């Protein structure tokens, strides 16, 4: 009965609390005082001290706060080491890794490490694996990986040399960029209650427009934004004085012809009007 009581007290505390107890012991605080503070017996404190190395090793290998209360390790530690190293390698290459990919790779690694044994790579195993290693889900966004990074620095130097050669000031240096706006797109992630096991959804509506923004380097001149939609004459514009420029394509995307027309028929006019004299392009 006494042994069962001590075991219950030992598992009453999580690993982070046990580490705090070890630190207090190292600081010279008496076991009786520590036991009273945590509501356990002195014997439980002694047991924690005896398992010092095992506790510290487990916490060091735990991602984030050590909230668990046992020292149980994964059933196949070699498998997890290999799989996690493979996962890090893929992320260093900016490869997308999903739960299905992790499961498939885990099965492959398991066959190599433990031939003849069976391994299902269940959802529960995957959840525990992600929790142990701090793996979380993020939505892929942006286009930063589409850029040719090695050529960025030479281009910057070349552009700066050309600007200095032509004597172009910041007010004469313009930059234009486009972006898409999904104005009816619902969130693709959601928080759910504890009793929900799935989050049913509907087909995504991807109604979008494209807008083009342009300004000079010192911010003294911001051109009128260009909006690109699908309709040639949107009903919402009826009896509405649109303060922006509007154009249309079949998919509301920017294309070369649209940009050419904007540059010669809008950009040049606005720049000439701003500076009060004629620029020749």
Structure tokens, 174: 């313009």
Each residue of 147-187: pLDDT tens digit?
A: 667 788 888 899 899 999 999 999 999 999 999 998 887 77
At residue 10 the predicted structure's pLDDT band, cuts being 50, 70 and 90, is low
Q: Is pLDDT above 90 for 206?
A: no
Average pLDDT score over residue span 110-137:
85
**pLDDT bucket at 60, cuts 50 / 70 / 90:** low
The model's confidence at residue 2, banded by pLDDT at 50, 70 and 90, is: very low
Output the pLDDT for position 183: 85
Spatial CB neighbours of 189, under 8 Å, sequence gap ≥ 6: 139
Q: To the nearest whole number, what is the mean pLDDT of the chain?
A: 82
Q: Does residue 246 sit in helix, strand or coil?
A: strand
- List C-alpha distances in Å: 234 to 238, 243, 244: 7, 15, 14
Question: At residue 24, what are phi and psi to the nearest 5 degrees?
Answer: -65, -40
The verdict on pTM exceeding 0.75 is no
């Amino acid at each position: 009965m006494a042994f069962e009581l001590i075991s219950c007290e030992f598992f009453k505390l999580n690993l982070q609390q046990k580490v705090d107890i070890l630190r207090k012991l190292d600081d010279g605080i008496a076991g009786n005082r520590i036991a009273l503070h945590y509501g356990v017996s002195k014997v439980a404190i002694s047991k924690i001290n005896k398992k010092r190395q095992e506790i510290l090793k487990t916490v060091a290998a735990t991602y984030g706060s050590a909230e668990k209360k046992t020292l149980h390790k994964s059933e196949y530690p070699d498998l997890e080491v290999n799989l996690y190293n493979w996962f890090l390698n893929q992320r260093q290459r900016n490869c997308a890794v999903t739960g299905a990919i992790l499961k498939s790779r885990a099965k492959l690694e398991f066959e190599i490490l433990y031939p003849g044994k069976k391994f299902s790579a269940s959802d529960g195993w995957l959840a525990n694996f992600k929790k142990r290693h701090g793996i979380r889900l993020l939505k892929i966004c942006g286009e930063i990986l589409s850029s040719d990074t090695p050529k960025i620095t030479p281009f910057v130097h070349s552009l700066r040399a050309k600007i200095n050669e032509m004597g172009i000031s910041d007010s004469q240096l313009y930059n234009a960029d486009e972006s898409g706006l999904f104005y009816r797109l619902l969130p693709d992630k959601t928080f759910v209650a504890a009793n929900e096991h799935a989050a049913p959804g509907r087909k995504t509506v991807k109604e979008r427009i494209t807008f083009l923004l342009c300004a000079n380097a010192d911010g003294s001149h911001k051109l009128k934004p260009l909006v690109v939609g699908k309709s040639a004459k949107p009903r919402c514009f009826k009896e509405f004085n649109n303060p922006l420029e509007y154009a249309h394509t079949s998919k509301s995307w920017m294309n070369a012809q649209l940009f050419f027309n904007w540059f010669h028929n809008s950009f040049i006019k606005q720049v000439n009007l701003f500076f009060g004299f004629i620029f020749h392009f």
